[in-house]
Amino acid sequence: MDTAGVPQRRNYIDGRFLGSNRQFEKTSPVDGSAVATVHEADRAMVDHAVQAARRALKGPWGRMALAERAEMLRAIATGIERRFAEFVAAEVADTGKPAALASHLDIPRGAANFRIFADIVRTYGMDSYFLDTPDGKGAVNYAMRKPLGVVGVISPWNLPLLLLTWKLAPALACGNTIVAKPSEETPSTATLLAEVMHEAGVPPGVYNLVHGFGPDSAGEFVTAHPGVDAITFTGESATGSAIMRSVAPSVKPISFELGGKNAGIVFADCDFEAALAGMAHAIFSNCGQVCLAPERVYVERPIFERFAAALKQKAQAHVMGWPDDPKTTMGPLISRQHREKVLSYYALARTEGASVMCGGGVPAFGDARDRGCYIEPTLWTGLAETARSVKEEIFGPCAHLAPFEDEEQAIAMANDTRYGLAATVWTSNLSRGHRVAQAMECGIAWVNCWFLRDLRTPFGGAKLSGIGREGGLHSLNFYSEPTNVCIKL
């Protein structure tokens, strides 16, 4: 289907943009209009992409000096920045998120990911270390990092360019070649990135992009392909499980960044206004579609009522508007299907006995936005800690608030989950901040902040929230294969 005026999002394989006979329409979460026609890659196209990536490992890319590769990553970052407005518009069209958010977070981080990994690989190199022999046997050891080979990158829709490049940049920095499969909901910035790679002179076959869905489509064709050497995936925990099954026969290395059901802990001694602003931002940013968002909020009893009332005001102050309107603070959910899922949790929470403090439904605008996927920001109290709506990831602009009596109870409640991605702790007692953060059974614990990232630090989740860590040297470790060379002197 070719709709006049609607961009075509084609696959990018071996340095060429390729259309497909199978196409699907990507619609706007803002008003349901068509935003792109996406060309779905079939099994043969995915195989073509994998073969191109395998060949590219042996071509100019494979022989390129590390410094030159790092320069190429910088050129990609510059290329994104040069077309900044186009990237913002594409991200906004696919997701409906406020343009201000895409301009401040998604696209700048997309470019920054390439710069930081260019710096990291230049600083640490691919020859990792030399060792003296402690036993006097007269040998010297060194270890060199080699690329893993062809890396399959499967990414989600919530922060499309940011999360794709978070994996792509270190994988390329280590000299791998790529077959990337972005979410079917957000095909656009990954396609623009292919144009930027092309313009930056990235050799054919190094970055291959295939569009499509997960099961029985491009996603599964990539993960199950025997010519793909490693899989890096960000998405739902259940999808991670399915991918594990699909990679099992060929025993590929995997790096998984999965779902969360994160806790926010607010102590009575916190800076009230800072904690309120921080928690409101953490819960509702990107319409709650952030893996790190706290959907469980624990507040120390003496300030519970006051904090809950103030958070409710923050929730109700959100302006659900058009993405380009600077007054808009909250966009829609990504799709009708996802809104059905979130609404099913809104209904479940009520059935489970929640008191609905605010929200719980769908706003009515009386204009084209009624054909979109907007949903009200929602807060609950009164649920049992065992309720499914307190246990399961919802991935919407919502949270349950519960009081706690002391530090020990707060830690126990926060850790009583099968997930282990992130936590945010608010207190003006620094010793307590350290203590509680260290007790969190998760990959990242923030104190008096949230989503404050130094890209050198380990990022990932414990329990159901993931396998492995990425960031800085952790990424170099995953995306390279060390070979130890031992020389008898």
Residues with a catalytic annotation lie at: 257, 291
C-alpha closest to that of 206 among 215, 214, 196, 216 = 196
Residue-by-residue DSSP string for 417-483: SSEESEEEEE-S-HHHHHHHHHH--SSEEEES-SS---TTS-B--EETTEES-BSHHHHHHHTEEEE
CB-side exposure of 307: number of CA atoms within 13 Å?
32
Number of neighbours of residue 300 by Cβ within 10 angstroms? 22
Residues 264-303 that bind ligand NAD (CB under 6 A): 291
| 122-181 residues near ligand NAD, rule: CB under 6 A | 154-158, 163, 181
Q: In angstroms, give the least distance from the CB of 397 to ligand NAD.
A: 14
Say how far apart CA 389 and CA 347 lie, in whole Å: 10
Using the rule CB under 6 A, is 393 a contact of ligand NAD? yes
257 contacts ligand NAD (rule: CB under 6 A): yes
Q: How far is the CB of 217 from ligand NAD (least distance, A)?
A: 7
- From 239, 381, 475, 477, residue interacting with ligand NAD (rule: CB under 6 A): 239
Q: How many CB atoms lie within 10 A of CB 306?
A: 13
Q: Per CB under 6 A, does 12 bind ligand NAD?
A: no
Which of 258, 280, 287, 349 is in the footprint of ligand NAD by CB under 6 A?
258
381/424 with CB nearer ligand NAD: 424
Q: What are the distances in angstroms from CA 115 to CA 64, 72, 74? A: 18, 10, 5
Of positions 20, 223, 255, 285, contacts ligand NAD by CB under 6 A: 223
Q: Which is nearer to ligand NAD, 168 or 310 (CB)?
A: 168
Q: What's the min distance (Å) between Cβ of 481 and ligand NAD?
A: 23
Number of residues interacting with ligand NAD: please give it, by CB under 6 A.
31
| Residue with Cβ nearer ligand NAD (157 or 446) | 157
Cβ closer to ligand NAD: 95 or 223? Answer: 223
Residue with Cβ nearer ligand NAD (307 or 345): 345
Cβ-based neighbours of 400, under 8 Å, separated by 6 or more: 295, 296, 297, 349, 354, 379, 380, 381, 383, 387, 389, 390
Cβ proximity to ligand NAD, 211 vs 369, nearer residue:
211
CA distance 352 to 348: 6
Q: Provide the 10 A C-beta neighbour count for residue 432.
A: 17
Site string for ligand NAD, 192-211 (x = CB under 6 A): --------------------
Q: How many residues does the chain have?
A: 489
| Cβ nearer to ligand NAD, comparing 219 with 403 | 219
The SS3 of residue 326 is coil
**Min separation Cβ 94 and ligand NAD, Å:** 12
Pair of tokens at residue 322: 């058009």
**CA neighbor of 452 nearest in space, from 285, 304, 333, 331:** 285
Residue closer to ligand NAD by CB (options 79, 182) is 182
- Our CB check for ligand NAD shows the closer of 185 and 300 to be 185
d(CA 87, CA 399): 31
In whole angstroms, how far apart are CA 266 and each of 39, 73, 303? 47, 41, 9
Among 5, 134, 215, 366, binds ligand NAD (CB under 6 A): 215
Least distance (Å) from ligand NAD to the CB of residue 307? 25
Smallest distance from ligand NAD to CB 178, Å: 14
Q: Does residue 61 bind ligand NAD (CB under 6 A)?
A: no
**Gap between the Cα atoms of 470 and 209, Å rounded:** 22
Q: How far is CA 366 from CA 56, 363, 370, in A?
A: 53, 10, 7
The reply to whether 335 sits near ligand NAD by the rule CB under 6 A is no
| Residue 260 touches ligand NAD, criterion: CB under 6 A | yes
The least CB distance from residue 214 to ligand NAD, in Å, is: 2
**Residue 184 near ligand NAD by CB under 6 A:** yes
Token look-up 């307190």 returns 390
Phi, psi for residue 421 in degrees, rounded to 5: -90, -60
- Minimum CB separation from ligand NAD for residue 54, in Å? 20
* Dist CA 161 CA 152 (whole Å): 16
Site string for ligand NAD, 451-470 (x = CB under 6 A): ----------x----x----
| Binding flag, residue 421, ligand NAD (CB under 6 A) | yes
Contact criterion met (CB below 8 Å) for 226 and 179: no
How distant, in Å, are the alpha carbons of 62, 133, 482, 485 from that of 142?
21, 11, 10, 5
Least gap, CB of 182 to ligand NAD (angstroms) = 6
- Residue 175's H or E segment, with its range, is none
Q: Per CB under 6 A, does 375 bind ligand NAD?
A: no
Q: Answer yes or no whether residue 29 interacts with ligand NAD by CB under 6 A.
A: no
Site string for ligand NAD, 299-318 (x = CB under 6 A): --------------------
- DSSP class of residue 470 equals B
Catalog residues that contact ligand NAD under the rule CB under 6 A: 154-158, 163, 181, 183-184, 213-215, 219-220, 223, 234-236, 239, 242-243, 257-260, 291, 393, 395, 421, 461, 466
